[in-house]
A and B are shown apart, each in its own frame.
Chain A
Amino acid sequence: MVNRPPVRLNNLDSLPLSRRELLLGAGGLVLAGTLAGCGSSGSSPSSSAASTGTPKPGGNFRLGVTGGGSKDIMDGQTIITKPDQARLVAGWETLLVYDSQYKLPSAGGTQTGLAEEVTQDAPDQWTIKLRPGITFHNGKPLTADDVIYSLNRILDPEVGLFGGAGLASIDPKQMQKLDTLTVRLKLKGPDSTIADQLGQYYNGIVPDGYTRTGPLKWVGTGPYTVVSFKPGAQSVHKKNPDYWRTGQPYFDQVTITDFADPTAQVNALLAGQIDAMTDIPFAQIEVAKQHGGLSVLESQGGGWLPLCMAIDLKPFDDVRVRQAMRLIVDRNAMLEQVLSGHGHIANDLYSPFDPAYDTSLPQRTQDIEQAKSLLKSAGQEGLTFDLHTTDGAAGMVDSANVFAQQAKAAGVTVNVHNDPNYYGDQYLKLPFSVDFWGTRNFLPQVANGSIPTAPYNECHWPPKDSNYLSLYSQALAEIDQGKRADIIHEMQKLEYDEGGYIIPFFNNLVDSYSSKVQGFNVNRGTLNLDSFGHGYRTIWFG
């Protein structure tokens, strides 16, 4: 929050010379910096192919997205594939918006999303005040009813949306419409993370009565309306003429195409058939850089591929074994082998962008001797066990294989099982497995993966005798940010010392685009291409 610029945030995107340009050159490639700075400003520009000039309207922006298939959906509140992400942000928006440093404007400050203000009135009460004058694509004004409907849909277990776990403290029966633009949320218990959740891109605001296939299926408030959508192939989006942010968006049309194969994607970009692509293969980065007309956008991501040790299953129920496993990892080597160095080494803790991320904990490094002696004292020398993985996300299988290789040095034999039916059959029941996560702030992540009620608690954390859960309740109830950070540090220390996660690195997002596209900036976050050019509204053809 300290770095927040003295400008109204809702004008930030349209200011020709904002802080973003001083900090981040468009097309600049972030050098993989030291990891320890995750909590501070971690991205620094290495080149400044500046995106100067005034935005120009017009054109058809053609984006190629990796992945997708018959499973593709178009929904304002959930995604299945990566192209779904690219489509969601064109049509739907959230109440709050993270800035380029993955921070929300501080409480009481002017917000940049659909909400003008989101305040925590009491530990268990939040008030949302909507921005006036916003309309949906069908002309209906955005009101409190739509917010209540949207939150109810997220919380409805029948719909089964991902956002439900993070917002579970909201009492759906006690959402109150104070006036047309104001909603009061009563919580089942104290929760200071509601604002964080409302800023997640998948918690979009949909009109009252929205369903994925009903008459309102493509209606949102976003900068583009959907013209056509074919799963596994392509979607076409048209400029929303009534969009509420003045002057935006710039393109007349956005066309999003699925690519099963990244080589075809690169070729299409090189041949000028698309204007931008997500996830350029590391081997092709040099090709793109040498090609005059292309730029590479490398953003520091907070996504992680943990190796998860279930702390209540043998042999990982012994904390010494878990510590030994964490000391076996040569993080730099793993980052190099799995991601060709496009990431930052991690310290077995998640949520690197959280202002409360504890950077004072010493960076864990490989120490084979120490690992061996820990195993010896645990009576587990020459340990042999299975590590389960699957092709759920790029790097999951490689990470497992590299770990197995590195473990040999400590006399540990790891048998890697790559199982396509891993999710569903054995997931969350295994002693040792690989998983994947995007990034979110610490407490929301805990709600999703580190407490017994979390839907994806791979490590079966925390230990029974630990005070972790009471610390978690305290943190949720604490409104003061400084005090909350102290509690979070205690929780992180517990996970750092005894946790079941091995988190070797955070991956970068590496995308490429035609140099005629202006306005892309290096951005911290979960979504590719500067959050898809903030929903294709902060980029334009130069």
Chain B
Amino acid sequence: MATEPSGSASEPVDVTVPGGPGPTGAAPGWRRALHVGGIPGFIVRRMLLGVLVLAAVSVVVFLATQALGDPARAILGRTATPTSLHALRKQLNLDQPVLTQYWHWVTGLLHGDAGTSLSANVPVTDYLRDRVVNSAFLVLLSGGISIPLAIAIGSYAALQRDRTFDVVTSIVTLAFAALPEFVVGLILVVVFSTTVFDVLPAIAAPGVRPWNDLKGMILPTATLVIAVTPYVVRIMRASMIEVLESDYVEMARLKGLPERQVLIRHALPNALGPTFQVIAINLAYLAGGVIVVEYLFNYQGIGGAMRDAVSTSDLPLVQALAMLIAALYVVLNLLADIATILVTPRLRTRL
């Protein structure tokens, strides 16, 4: 173990380096072009793979949303009659073959046209714009606070292994990780807004963009920070402990490097690799819309939009949101892989 400091981080990279030093000679020209070495080549290959993944996801999303039910029925509800159903289906192009519908949808997406929301009757992009920005703001705010915080706590806990700070951190992070977000959020609201103290707003100010309502952002952000930090702390602590026990850290110490330099130059970068992967997953999870938190604080994000869209069978809206969230996963994983490569010398030199 001690000699494989970034074992877990190397896995996603291995998967995506096609062939490595294998039989590239037989490959056609375009494949050779893909085997450009170094970090730029890696990024290009990764992005192409991301596009492939998204194309596959688009098929799955499209087929899955067909199972949501008939949007024409959903729109008409109690007023559905055979004639009105037929007319609406025609209007929505639902009478065309599935393949044609898919093609219309994908080409539209590529042109930045995600269709028209069936329930709100406005372009999907207009309907989602503010909500996407709101969600992004909440994610950046919570991520910006929780990530440095978690890295610092996790590293320090590793250094203090089995001492009071470490033990307390372990218990607290385990407890927080076990609590669902809405419980954390409710406790915060009860303590700071309604019952114990009355110092913070209980919901995000309605009709105000979040950056103009920083006071109202405190509790939603705190809830998400508490939800995400424990995971990152625990993975950071674990990989830091692993790194601290490694031969090269021991070597650095034996060479008489100052402890500060050992930690920051040699230990920390190697420990960050696995942590980046966990951070990426967590950020993507946050960006996918933490519906419970949005509901609790009446926050206008994409989680609520997704729920609303599903319950009203608003196909274009569901599809657009699913694609958006899938794209976020792809991009964040790409960024995590790049960051892992950049901080891990062993992986960098293998490219």
Contact = CB atoms under 8 A, between A and B. Distances in A.
Interface of A: 62, 69-72, 160, 228, 230-234, 236, 255, 257, 259-261, 263-265, 267-268, 270-273, 420-421, 423-425, 427, 455-456
Given A70-B117, A71-B120, A267-B189, A160 B202 contact: no
Contacts, number: 110
Contacts of A425: 73
Contacts of A261: 295-296, 298
A264 B205 contact: no
A228 B206 CA distance: 13
B309 A70 contact: yes
B13 interface: no
A424 B70 CA distance: 10
A232 B84 CA distance: 26
B78 interface: yes
B180 interface: no
B119 A71 contact: yes
B300 A233 contact: yes
Contacts of A231: 120
B304 interface: yes
B201 to A, nearest CB: 6
Given A69-B312, A232-B308, A233-B207, 4 more contacts: A259-B298, A267-B296, A420-B311, A425-B73
Contacts of B193: 267, 270-271
Interface residues of B, number: 42
Contact of A423 (B78, B119, B127, B296): B78
A264 B202 contact: yes
Interface in B72-119: 73-74, 76-80, 84, 117, 119
Nearest to B85: A424
A264 B297 contact: yes
15 contacts: A69-B308, A160-B79, A234-B207, A261-B295, A263-B296, A267-B203, A270-B193, A271-B194, A272-B198, A273-B201, A273-B205, A421-B73, A423-B73, A424-B80, A427-B78
Contacts of B307: 260
Contacts of B7: none
A62 B203 CA distance: 13
A257 B207 contact: yes
Contact of A424 (B73, B295, B296, B304): B73
A70 B310 CA distance: 11
Nearest to A421: B69
B292 to A, nearest CB: 9
Nearest to B120: A70
A344 to B, nearest CB: 26
A234 B202 contact: no
A427 B294 CA distance: 33
A71 B309 CA distance: 9
Contacts of A69: 119, 308, 311-312
A357 B305 CA distance: 44
B202 A268 contact: yes
B308 A70 contact: yes
Contacts of B198: 271-272
A226 to B, nearest CB: 14
A236 B207 contact: yes
A263 B186 contact: yes
Interface in B275-331: 294-298, 300, 304-305, 307-309, 311-312, 314, 317
Contact of A257 (B200, B298, B305): B298
Nearest to A71: B119
B186 to A, nearest CB: 7
Contacts of B317: 70
B127 A70 contact: yes
Contacts of A234: 206-207
B203 A260 contact: no
Contact of A264 (B69, B203, B308): B203
Given A260-B295, A261-B295, A273-B201, A267 B194 contact: yes
Interface in B201-232: 201-203, 205-207
Interface string B13-54: 000000000000000000000000000000000000000000
A441 B231 CA distance: 59
Contacts of B305: 70, 232
Contacts of A230: 207
A420 B120 contact: no
B298 A424 contact: no
B294 to A, nearest CB: 8
A425 B73 CA distance: 8
Contact of B203 (A70, A72, A271, A456): A271
A257 B208 CA distance: 12
B76 to A, nearest CB: 6
A156 B238 CA distance: 70
Given A263-B296, A267-B202, A268-B202, A424 B76 contact: yes
A254 B120 CA distance: 23
Contacts of B194: 267, 270-271
A69 B73 CA distance: 18
A216 B174 CA distance: 58
A233 B203 contact: no
Contacts of A273: 201-203, 205-206
B221 to A, nearest CB: 16
B68 to A, nearest CB: 10
A268 B298 contact: yes
A255 B73 contact: no
B120 to A, nearest CB: 4
A265 to B, nearest CB: 8
Closest 7 CB pairs of A and B: A424-B73, A271-B202, A267-B202, A261-B295, A70-B120, A270-B194, A257-B206
A483 B228 CA distance: 71
A455 B80 CA distance: 11
Nearest to A428: B78
A45 B147 CA distance: 56
A19 to B, nearest CB: 37
A261 B312 CA distance: 17
Contacts of A259: 298
Contacts of B69: 420-421
B98 to A, nearest CB: 20
Contacts of A424: 70, 73-74, 76-78, 80
A71 B77 CA distance: 12
B312 A260 contact: no
Nearest to B309: A70
A138 to B, nearest CB: 24
Contacts of B203: 264, 267-268, 271, 273
Contacts of B195: 270
Contact of B206 (A233, A272, A421, A456): A233
B298 A423 contact: no
Contacts of A255: 206-207
A72 B122 CA distance: 12
A421 B311 CA distance: 10
B296 A71 contact: no
A427 B85 CA distance: 14
A270 B198 CA distance: 9
A21 B307 CA distance: 44
A246 B69 CA distance: 52
B151 to A, nearest CB: 32
Contact of A71 (B84, B201, B312): B312
A232 B128 CA distance: 12
A71 B207 CA distance: 18
Nearest to B194: A270
Contacts of B70: 421, 424
A260 B189 CA distance: 17
Given A260-B298, A425-B73, A70 B189 contact: no
Given A70-B119, A71-B312, A231-B120, A264 B298 contact: yes
